[in-house]
Structure formats: structure tokens, C-alpha cells
């Protein structure tokens, strides 16, 4: 399929249905695991090499999937340039910023800063789209979701904002801003197969990053990582990058930029629930309060609960 044909297909957005919310929840679980994989891998692998490795491994995994399923499209010079730009704002800037900031920030604080992604996505969508203008419900929902993540993580982490780790915090915030632009820019690929789009984006990211990694980190001089680090590295590439981006582009194409950015509210929820279910960690009252605020925020953004209540009120 050519780029011209892709742009000729109408692109109406669908409201979030049960399967869409389930896909978003699954994506949050997969990306929640990326913080664990990244924390393990960055102990022995330099952050920029780790960022390159995850996109390269993800691209190879998706190439195998695409070939097995016979999925492809016609790559024009213009489309290649668009994938290159998408690679920069969706992968290179965020992954490198997050990988470096994780060396200096606790994972909880990283989650709070990452949860600002919908705020920036709403603002970018307001300025650059015609069908995703923010509404009162959407704005209230995004603010409630962000507050919910902050409450869930606790005041101790919020107290660490600023101070000597400010550069790392700004790097994490730069990643969220870049994600916001990427979600809006990625809408242009919605008529192409999600697997092919994810593969092309990750391949472009790998090609752009390769010369910088060879010059800066000289990975051939690094010691061989331990088995747990190699396992985490593979999980980061195949699961939290390759498979995750298939879900990402499917939700983006169907439900829009603002809805896909909501995954950043659910990632810390997934991480905390996994800790409780798998590791037996106790849930604290503030975490239940955070869950509630996030649920209210998602309901406000979805809009249907409010419309149902209004309809019942009118009937009454």
C-alpha cells in the first residue's frame, strides 16, 4: 500500500469499547514490565546502548512476525522520512532520556513524571488535530488521572521533585513531551498494518542510533552481560518494545492519540497490582485512593458514565 493510498482512506476515530480498554490494560502490563527490565539491564549495559538494543531487538522480532504473516507495504521516500521522524520522537528521544534518568531516579518518581504524558498529548492534539480537541470531561479526566498516580506513589516521592536530581527529572519529562508529539504524529500511519508500522518505526530508530552507539559507547569493548541482564534485555526488546508497539499502533489508529496516552496512568497501577499478586506486597490506603482517582479520570475521559447518569436524571 502506498503512502498516497493510505492518506486517501477516511480515518474516523472509534469510542473506547470493552476490547479497546482490555488492549490498553494489556499494554500497560507490558510497559509496566519495561521499568523492571530496564532497571535490571541498565546495571550492566550503558543507557544509550540499552536504548539501541531494545529497538533493534524489537525490530527483528517484528520482522519475523511480519514475514510469517505476509504483512508489508510499499515504502516511498516520503513515507521513509515520516518513519524516521516518528522514530526520533517516539523512540530515540524518550528511550535515551528514560534510560539515562533511570540511573538517578527511583522508579516511582519516573512513573509520576511519565504519567504527565496525557497532559502533553491533550495539548498537542488541541493544536494539531481537528477531531481530538479537548473537552471539559477530557481535561478533568486527565488531571484526575495524573493526581491519582501522584497520590498512589505517595508524598515521599513528590518531595523529591527538584533538588540535585533535577536534570534527570527534566530528562524524564522531556520523554513525556516527546511521547505526546509522537502519539499525535503517529495518527498519519493509521491506514497501514500495525505490525508493519511498528517494524518500520523500530527499524528506522535502529539505523539512526547505530552510528552514535558505535562512536559513543563502543559496545564491542563492553564486558559480556550476565544471564539475568541478557534475559531482561531480551524482554525489553521483544515484549516491551516489539509486541507493545503492535498494540500501541492498533489502539492509536482506532481510538486516537489521547486515548493511547492514557496507558501511562495504568502502567503504575499494573506494576503495583503485579507486586501485590506475584510478590505478595501489601496494598496501602493511598494506593486504593490513587486507583479510585485514576478510575474516575478514565470515566470522565470516556464520557459514557456521565452521559448515562445525565440520561437517568432527565428521565427522573
pLDDT tens for residues 124-179? 888 888 878 877 888 888 888 888 887 877 776 666 676 777 888 888 889 989 99
Other Cβ atoms less than 10 A from the Cβ of 5: the count is: 12
The model's confidence at residue 267, banded by pLDDT at 50, 70 and 90, is: confident
Tell me the C-alpha distance between 158 and 187, whole Å.
Answer: 33
Tell me the C-alpha distance between 17 and 158, whole Å.
Answer: 34
- Does the pLDDT at position 212 exceed 60? yes
Taking alpha carbons only, the member of 58, 101, 35, 56 closest to residue 271 is: 35
pLDDT number for residue 316: 63
Taking alpha carbons only, the member of 17, 13, 11, 12 closest to residue 302 is: 17
Give, rounded to a whole angstrom, the gap between the first and last alpha carbons of the chain. 53
Q: Are 97 and 170 in contact (CB under 8 A)?
A: no
- As a whole-number percent, the residues of the chain with pLDDT over 90 amount to 28
The model's confidence at residue 34, banded by pLDDT at 50, 70 and 90, is: confident
The model's confidence at residue 13, banded by pLDDT at 50, 70 and 90, is: confident
Taking alpha carbons only, the member of 157, 119, 121 closest to residue 290 is: 157
Q: What is the pLDDT of residues 52-85, one digit of tens each?
A: 988 999 999 999 999 999 887 888 999 999 999 9
The model's confidence at residue 310, banded by pLDDT at 50, 70 and 90, is: low
Q: Tell me the pLDDT of the chain averaged across its residues.
A: 82
pLDDT number for residue 162: 67
Question: Residue 234 has which C-alpha cell?
Answer: 531480551
Q: Once rounded to an integer, what is the mean pLDDT over residues 109-133?
A: 81
pLDDT number for residue 271: 73
Q: What is the pLDDT of residues 92-103, one digit of tens each?
A: 898 788 878 877
Domain ranges of the chain: 16-315
Q: What is the pLDDT of residues 268-291, one digit of tens each?
A: 777 777 667 766 667 778 878 888
pLDDT number for residue 266: 84
Amino acid at each position: 500500500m502506498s503512502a498516497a493510498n493510505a492518506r486517501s482512506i477516511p480515518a474516523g476515530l472509534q469510542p473506547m469499547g470493552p476490547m479497546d480498554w482490555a488492549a490498553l490494560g494489556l499494554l500497560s502490563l507490558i510497559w509496566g514490565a519495561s521499568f523492571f527490565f530496564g532497571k535490571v539491564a541498565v546495571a550492566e549495559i550503558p543507557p544509550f546502548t540499552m536504548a539501541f538494543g531494545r529497538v533493534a531487538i524489537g525490530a527483528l522480532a517484528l520482522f519475523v512476525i511480519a514475514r510469517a504473516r505476509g504483512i508489508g507495504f510499499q515504502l516511498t521516500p516520503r513515507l521513509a522520512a515520516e518513519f524516521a521522524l516518528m522514530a526520533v520522537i517516539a523512540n530515540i528521544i524518550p528511550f535515551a532520556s528514560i534510560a539515562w534518568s533511570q540511573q538517578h531516579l527511583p522508579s516511582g518518581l519516573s512513573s509520576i513524571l511519565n504519567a504527565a504524558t496525557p497532559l502533553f498529548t491533550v495539548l498537542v492534539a488541541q493544536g494539531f488535530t481537528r477531531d481530538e480537541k479537548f473537552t471539559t470531561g477530557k481535561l478533568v479526566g486527565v488531571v484526575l488521572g495524573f493526581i491519582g498516580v501522584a497520590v498512589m506513589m505517595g508524598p515521599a516521592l513528590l518531595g523529591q521533585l527538584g533538588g540535585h536530581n533535577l536534570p534527570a527529572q527534566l530528562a524524564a519529562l522531556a520523554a513525556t513531551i516527546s511521547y505526546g508529539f509522537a502519539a499525535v504524529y503517529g495518527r498519519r500511519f493509521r491506514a497501514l498494518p500495525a505490525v508493519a508500522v511498528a517494524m518500520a518505526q523500530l527499524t528506522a530508530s535502529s539505523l539512526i542510533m547505530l552510528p552514535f552507539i558505535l562512536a559513543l559507547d563502543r559496545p564491542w569493548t563492553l564486558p559480556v552481560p550476565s544471564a539475568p541482564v541478557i534475559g531482561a534485555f531480551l524482554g525489553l526488546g521483544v515484549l516491551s518494545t516489539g509486541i507493545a508497539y503492535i498494540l500501541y499502533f492498533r489502539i492509536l489508529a482506532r481510538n486516537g492519540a489521547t486515548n493511547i496516552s492514557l496507558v501511562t496512568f495504568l502502567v503504575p497501577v499494573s506494576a503495583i497490582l503485579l507486586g501485590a499478586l506475584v510478590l505478595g506486597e501489601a496494598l496501602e490506603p493511598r494506593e486504593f485512593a490513587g486507583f479510585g482517582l485514576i478510575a474516575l479520570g478514565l470515566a470522565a475521559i470516556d464520557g459514557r458514565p456521565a452521559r448515562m447518569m445525565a440520561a437517568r436524571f432527565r428521565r427522573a
